[in-house]
Amino acid sequence: MFHPRRLHPRHVLRALLLPLTAGLALTALPAQTAQAASTLTNGGFENDGAGAAVPNGWSEYGDTGASFSESGGHGGSYRLSHWASTAYKVETYQYLSGLTNGSYKLTAWVRSGGGQNSAYLALKNCGGAEQRTDLPVSASGWIRVVVPVTVTNNQCTISVTSDANAGNWLNVDDLIFAAGTAGLTVKGADISSLAKSEAKGGVYRTSSGATGDAVTILKNAGMNYARLKVWVNPADGYNNKARVLAVAKRVKAAGQKLLVDFHYSDTWADPGAQAKPAAWAGHSYSQLKTDVYHHTYDVLNALKAQGTTADMVQVGNEINGGMLWSEGSTANWGQLAGLLNSGYDAVKAVSSSTSVALHLAKGGDLTGTRWWFDNAVANGVKFDAIGLSYYGYWHGTLADFQTTLDDAAARYAKPVFLAETAYPFRLDSEDALENIIDLSGELVSGYPATTAGQLAWMNAVANIVEAVPNGRGLGVFYWEATWTAVSGNGWDPTDASSGNGWENQALFGYDDRPLPAMAWFGHR
C-alpha cells in the first residue's frame, strides 16, 4: 500500500468516458419466439448487422426499443446495445433447452457507461437459484465477465437486463455458453490494523449496533482469508511477530485461512520505500540472505507451533523495485533473486504446502509486470502465485487491470490474486488527518464515494478476478478493512498522534458498523 506521506500532490484521474454515438433510438419489432436449442445462437450479434431491433436468436421484453444491434463489436463488427433517451427497463434473452445437466459458464465481453439502477447478465430458470454478474462501469475498454450456473432441469435462459435512466447505455458481445465453473477461492481482507485499534479503544459493532469482535463480524459476512503484515522491530510494537501470533489464533479459530505478508522492514515497505530493518543495517548481502531466512522461518515456525500454520506467504510487499535496498534492488537482479529464494526456502522448510506469492503494485501495468516477472524467471526466482495491488484511482482502468492479470496468469502459468484494493464510501475525514482520497476528482468514473459505490467497486474487481481464464483467478484481499479512526492508531509507527487517512475506505463505517460493501465477501 502506498503511504500517506508520499501521496501528495494528488493523482487526479482523467475522465475516461467516451461519448455515446448518436442515433441509437430504434423502433422495436415484435418480440421473436424464444430459441429452443442446446447451443447459443448469434452470441456475437453478427447475423443481422447493424440496426436489428431484435437480433436473430434473441427475444426481448419490456421497453424493447432500447435493445438493438449496432456497429462496434468486440470481436466482430457488431454488438448488442441497450440505450434510450428516456428511462427504460429492457431484457434481451435467449432460451436454451435440451441441455445436459451439469455445470455451465456464460462468458461475455461488456462495456457500460454506468448510472443504471441495475445492469447485469443472468442465467435463470436453470433449475436452481438465478445467477447474476453486474456489468462493471467501463466506458472505454471491453471487460470479460463470467456467470456460472448448475443446470438441473435441462434448460436455461441467458439474459441481458437493464433498469436504466435516460441516456444510460451498455454493450454486450461475444457471449459463449459452455461447460465450466467459476468462483473465488479467496475472499479476504488485510486486518493488520486490528490489534492496535482494539488496544487504543477501537470498537467494532454488528449491524444492529451491538459491540462485537471484528474477526467474527467479517467471518459472518463471508470473509474466509485474513492477511497480516509482519515488521521486524517496529517502533510501536505492533505488526511484529508476537502481535501476528496473537491475531493468527483468532483468525484460525474463526475457521479462516491466513496470509502472512513479510515487509522485511521496521516500517512500511512499498514501491517508494524498502528500508532494511535497523537490526540488519550494515549487513553484507550474504548476511541479508541469512537474515531473510531466519526471520521468515522464525515467524512461520512459531505460527506452526501454536497450530496456526500460514496458508500463504508473501515474500516481500509491493516489491516493484526490489526489497532491502540497496542490496536487493532490481538494479541487481542476481542479488534480489537470492534474497527472494532465501525467503521461499524458509517458507517451504516450515510447511511445504504453504503457497509463496510475489507481490507487485502494478495492477494496471502490463509492461511493468512483464518486465519484473520476466526478470524473476530468468534469474531463477521461485514462487507459487502472483499478487498484484490494484487501486483504481492510481493504477489504470479496470480494462488495464484485467489485461495485466490475465497476462500474468497465462505468461507464467501461475494462479493470480488481487493482493490489495479498496474504495472510499465517503470523502470527509473522521480524524484530523486528511484522507488519502478525499476529492471527487480522484475517484474512478462511475464509482461514487458512497456505500453503494464502494460495493460496486468490489463487485467489479471480484468479477474480473473470477473471469481469469483456466481457473487461475484465486481471489481478492480488501486492504485494511478494520482501519477505522482511532486516536493513537495512525499510519506512522513512530508518531502516536498521526491519523490514518484511510478510515473512509474501511469496511466499518464512522458508526463502527459493517458497511454494505461487506456483501462482496458473499461472492460465489
pLDDT of residue 17: 28
The grid cell for 320 is 516493484
Q: Kindly calculate the radius of gyration of the chain based on its CA atoms and give it in whole angstroms.
A: 24
Give the per-residue pLDDT at 33. Answer: 43
Active-site residue identified among 327, 420, 442, 480 = 420
All cell numbers assigned to 292: 531473510
**pLDDT (0 to 100) of residue 38:** 83
- The reply to whether 420 belongs to the active site is yes
d(CA 198, CA 102): 47
Catalytic entry in 70, 318, 442, 480: 318
Collect all residues with Cβ–Cβ distance below 8 Å to 141 and sequence separation of at least 6. Answer: 111, 397, 398, 399, 400
Q: How many Å apart are CA 466 and CA 477, to the nearest integer? A: 13
pTM: 0.93
Q: How far apart are CA 293 and CA 341, in angstroms?
A: 9
pLDDT of residue 1: 62
| Residues recorded for the chain | 524
Please give the Cα distance from 372 to 390 (Å, whole number): 16
At residue 376's C-alpha, the angle toward residues 339 and 311, to 5°, is 65
| Under 8 Å between Cβ of 143 and 50 | no
Q: Please give the Cα distance from 365 to 362 (Å, whole number).
A: 5
From first CA to last CA, the distance across the chain in angstroms is 27
- The H or E element containing residue 507 is none
Q: What is the pLDDT of residue 36?
A: 55
Answer yes or no: 466 catalytic: no
- Cell 482523467 -> residue: 14
**Number of other residues whose CB lies within 10 A of the CB of residue 19:** 7
444: which 3 cell numbers? 474512478
Q: Is 216 exposed, middle or buried (0-12, 13-18, 19+ CB in 10 A)?
A: middle
Predicted local confidence at residue 28, as pLDDT:
37
> What's the grid cell of residue 412?
507464467
One digit per residue, pLDDT tens: the chain, 524 residues? 644 433 333 333 222 322 233 233 333 333 334 445 789 999 999 999 898 999 999 999 999 999 999 999 999 999 999 999 999 999 999 999 999 999 999 999 999 999 999 999 999 999 999 999 999 999 989 999 999 999 999 999 999 999 999 999 999 999 999 999 999 999 999 999 999 999 999 999 999 999 999 999 999 999 999 999 999 999 999 999 999 999 999 999 999 999 999 999 999 999 999 999 999 999 999 999 999 999 999 999 999 999 999 999 999 999 999 999 999 999 999 999 999 999 999 999 999 999 999 999 999 999 999 999 999 999 999 999 999 999 999 999 999 999 999 999 999 999 999 999 999 999 999 999 999 999 999 999 999 999 999 999 999 999 999 999 999 999 999 999 999 999 999 999 999 999 999 999 999 999 999 999 999 999 99
pLDDT value for 29: 35
Q: Residue 312: how many CB atoms within 10 A of its CB?
A: 23
What are 224's three cell numbers?
474466509
Model pLDDT, residue 206: 98
Neighbours of 27 (CB within 10 A): 8
Instruction: List, in sequence order, every beta strand (DSSP E) within 332-406.
Output: 355-360, 385-389
Check the CA dihedral 518-110-413-470 and report its sign. Answer: positive
Q: Residue 87 and residue 411: Cα distance in Å, rounded?
A: 44
> From CA 176, how far away is CA 522, in angstroms rounded?
25
